[in-house]
Amino acid sequence: MGGGGGVKYLFFNASFRITFWFRIGSYLARQKGIFFKLLYGIVFLIHKHNQYLTGIQLPIGTQIGEGLCFAHFSCIIINSTCTIGDNCTIFQGVTIGSVRGNKGGVPIIGNNVVLTSGAKIIGGIKIGHNVIIGANAVVVSDIPDNSVAVGIPAKVISNDGKTKVELYLHN
C-alpha cells in the first residue's frame, strides 16, 4: 500500500471506520475510572457521527467476533443484544433484530456468514457457521451450518455453504 494508501484506507473506508470506533468504544465502556469514562464520551460521539454518516446502526457493546466487514453501507440495523461470530460480512439493507412473544429473543449468528443485500434475520434463531443468506431473504427459523438460504421465509437451497463462503472470502 505505497503512496499513503494505508492512511487513506484508515480515514476513508467506511467499514473500517465504523468497526474501529465500535471496538474502541466497546473496550472503553468496560473500563473503570474517570479517564476511561471521559475518553468513552468522546469516542461515543465519534461513533455516533460515523453511524449517521454510514447508515449503520451498530450499538457499542454488541457481541461481535473478529473480522466484521460491511461490504456496502447504508440502512444496516443490528440489535444490541444479538451475537455475531467471526468473519461476518454484511451488505446494505440488512436487519438483525428481535421479536416479542413466543419466538422472542435475538439472533445468534455463527462464524463465516455472509448476509447479502436486504436480508432480515429476525427473532431468537441461530444461523450456523459457513452460511450465506441470499438477497432480501427473511430468516425466521434456524439455518444449519454450511447452508445457503434464500426466500421469504428463508429456505435452505444448498448444503454447500462452506465452499461458497470460502470462495467469497478469498476473492
Kindly state the cell numbers that stand for 143. Answer: 439455518
Per-residue model confidence (pLDDT) at position 116: 94
- Element containing residue 148 per DSSP (H, E): strand 148-150
The residues with which 64 forms a beta bridge, in sequence order, are 84
The mean pLDDT value for 29-58 works out to: 93
- Check whether 1 has a pLDDT greater than 50: no
Its CATH class, for the domain covering 62-171, is mainly beta
Which pLDDT tens digit goes with each residue over 115-156? 999 999 999 999 999 999 999 999 999 999 999 999 999 999
User: Residue 86, CB half-sphere, CA atoms under 13 Å: how many?
Assistant: 1
The CA distance from 125 to 94, in Å, is 16
φ, ψ at 72 (rounded to 5°): -140, 150
Which pLDDT tens digit goes with each residue over 54-86? 999 999 999 999 999 998 888 999 999 999 999
Q: How many CB atoms lie within 10 A of CB 53?
A: 12
Which pLDDT tens digit goes with each residue over 93-109? 999 999 876 667 899 99
DSSP string, 111-147: SSEEE-TT-EEESS-EE-SSEEE-TT-EE-S-B-TT-
Say which range, 1-10, 46-55, 95-104, has the weakest mean pLDDT: 1-10
- Check whether 27 has a pLDDT greater than 60: yes
Peptide linkage before 59 cis (omega within 30 of 0): no
Q: Which long-range contacts (CB under 8 A, 24 or more apart) does 160-167 make?
A: 161/130, 161/131, 161/132, 162/112, 162/130, 164/132, 165/112, 165/113, 165/114, 165/130, 165/131, 165/132, 166/112, 166/130
